[in-house]
Amino acid sequence: MGEFFRDSLDSIWAHKMRSILTMLGIIIGIASIIAISSTIMGTNEQIKQNLVGAGNNVVTVKLYQGNYEMEFDWNPVPEGIPSYNPADREAVMAIPNAVDCSFYMSRSAYQSVYHGATGLSMGTINGVDEHYMNVYGYIIRAGRNFVKDDFDRYRKVALIDGSVSETLLNGQNPVGKTIEIKGEPFVIIGEFAQPTSFRPTITSLEDYQTYTDLSGGHILVPMQTWPVIYQYDEPPSLAIRARATEDMTDVGNRATKLMNARFTKDTGDVKYKSDDILKKAKDLQDLATATNKQLIWIASISLLVGGIGVMNIMLVSVSERTQEIGLMKALGAKRRLISTQFLMEAGILTCLGGIIGVLVGIALAFVVSKASSVPIFISVPVMGLAVVFSFVVGLFFGAFPASQAAKLNPIDALRRE
């Protein structure tokens, strides 16, 4: 076998230019597949990190009318839905694998929040209970957290995150400053942040629409002061933290059933629905994968063309080495030995093309990533599989030339000029 390998390399090296041109189709096909698969895996990882990236395993349950989330900036408050009752929290906490939960109200901060003449153009205002900070795992960077008296005494105090602080206060210490929310003054008591530096990667309009609430800033006020700002109570949303990422879908579904049983028995098509982040991530990943798989099939055409090129060049090689084959047969070489020699040469030729294609594909993936801001993920198993597949392509398309070489009549082969 070692001798076959050396002879194959010698034959390939003896016709360097012809071998490179023969490998070109394999190189292009493998490079395209590596680049596309790296982009697929990188995109899927980005989707997962964007949607589940904060790592807090929180599922939100919000009010919908039909298939559309009810946003009270534009929609009237539906009738027949009671406001939050502390007993509701006890029922939610009885859900298996629910670690903590928080009821809250939410509105857009657009043209609602000002510090002097500076306004907030995006982000959200949330009216929260005392459990909200713990559910999301937020930490206090400056000042203090809400305390029980803030809720019991209806204090007009607020917590803001770094985005709001930077926009309204130019990064100054926000503690003690006053902001206006819908014309009502609120004193900032602290600045909060996520325990990690997670930020979604936004590369398209769809990403912006999906993640804008994460990047535009958050303002938290006690739930009890919500009617002071918006003049009436609103049906609450629910944030519930699951024990593990794998439990999020089940916990969300159970919480949705519970919320609808307690809040929306007779409200028609107005119902609570959970924001199934895992399903959303999977749907987006499936869409990205399905789209890119089409590109992989197109790239595979290059492998087919490359394989045909290998078969063609091996037939030429058989024709050129007819006398050599005849001499080998005259000396007693078996058909299997001659067939193996040519199969090995075809396999090594395409395997070398596969290795070069992998290297070119990695370089191409990095170029695509830099040019389009699309993340990549280089998989060693995929690279190994690509090289093995290229070798198999060589064996498949080299089988016919090898068979032709093995079938040559030794006397006719020795006579041929």
Looking at the fold, whether 40 and 126 belong to one and the same domain comes out as no
- pTM for the model: 0.60
**What is the extent of the structural domain holding 196?**
58-243
Report how far residue 417's alpha carbon sits from residue 107's, in angstroms, rounded to the nearest whole number.
88
Report how far residue 261's alpha carbon sits from residue 271's, in angstroms, rounded to the nearest whole number.
10
Looking at the fold, whether 134 and 12 belong to one and the same domain comes out as no
Residue 324 lies in a domain: yes
Looking at the fold, whether 186 and 38 belong to one and the same domain comes out as no
Within 10 A of 172 (CB to CB), how many other CB atoms are there?
10
**Residues 157, 150 contacting (CB under 8 angstroms):** yes
**Residues 9, 345 contacting (CB under 8 angstroms):** no
Amino acid in position 114: Y
Report the pLDDT value the prediction gives residue 404, as an integer from 0 to 100.
Answer: 72
Looking at the fold, whether 235 and 116 belong to one and the same domain comes out as yes
Looking at the fold, whether 350 and 408 belong to one and the same domain comes out as yes
Report the pLDDT value the prediction gives residue 179, as an integer from 0 to 100.
Answer: 95
Residue 271 lies in a domain: no
Looking at the fold, whether 34 and 105 belong to one and the same domain comes out as no
Report the pLDDT value the prediction gives residue 400, as an integer from 0 to 100.
Answer: 78
Instruction: Dig out the tokens for 44 from the structure.
Output: 């899927």
Looking at the fold, whether 73 and 208 belong to one and the same domain comes out as yes
Residue 203 lies in a domain: yes
Residue 258 lies in a domain: no
Report the pLDDT value the prediction gives residue 49, as an integer from 0 to 100.
Answer: 60
Residue 257 lies in a domain: no
Looking at the fold, whether 128 and 27 belong to one and the same domain comes out as no
Domain boundary among 183, 216, 243: 243
What distance lies between CA 202 and its chain's CA centroid? 12
Residue 278 lies in a domain: no
Q: What residue spans of 187-334 are helical by DSSP H? A: 205-215, 226-230, 248-263, 277-320, 322-330
Report the pLDDT value the prediction gives residue 309, as an integer from 0 to 100.
Answer: 81
Report the pLDDT value the prediction gives residue 208, as an integer from 0 to 100.
Answer: 45
Report how far residue 26's alpha carbon sits from residue 232's, in angstroms, rounded to the nearest whole number.
68
Report how far residue 199's alpha carbon sits from residue 212's, in angstroms, rounded to the nearest whole number.
11
Looking at the fold, whether 65 and 207 belong to one and the same domain comes out as yes
Domain boundary among 223, 243, 263: 243
Domain boundary among 225, 243, 261: 243
Report the pLDDT value the prediction gives residue 342, as an integer from 0 to 100.
Answer: 75
pLDDT along the chain (417 residues), means of 10: 61 74 83 80 66 68 85 76 80 93 90 90 91 93 95 95 90 92 95 70 48 68 92 85 84 90 78 73 61 67 78 75 67 72 81 89 85 75 83 82 70 54
DSSP secondary structure of 129-160: -TTHHHHHT-EEEEE----HHHHHTT--EEEE
Looking at the fold, whether 42 and 88 belong to one and the same domain comes out as no
Pairing verdict, β 218-222 and 124-128 = parallel
Note the residue count of the chain.
417
Amino acid in position 145: N
Report how far residue 195's alpha carbon sits from residue 403's, in angstroms, rounded to the nearest whole number.
66
Split into its structural domains, the chain has a count of 2
Residue 345 lies in a domain: yes
Residue 194 lies in a domain: yes
Looking at the fold, whether 30 and 63 belong to one and the same domain comes out as no
Report the pLDDT value the prediction gives residue 316, as an integer from 0 to 100.
Answer: 75
Report phi then psi at 83, rounded to 5. Answer: -80, 180
Report how far residue 214's alpha carbon sits from residue 108's, in angstroms, rounded to the nearest whole number.
12
Looking at the fold, whether 79 and 26 belong to one and the same domain comes out as no
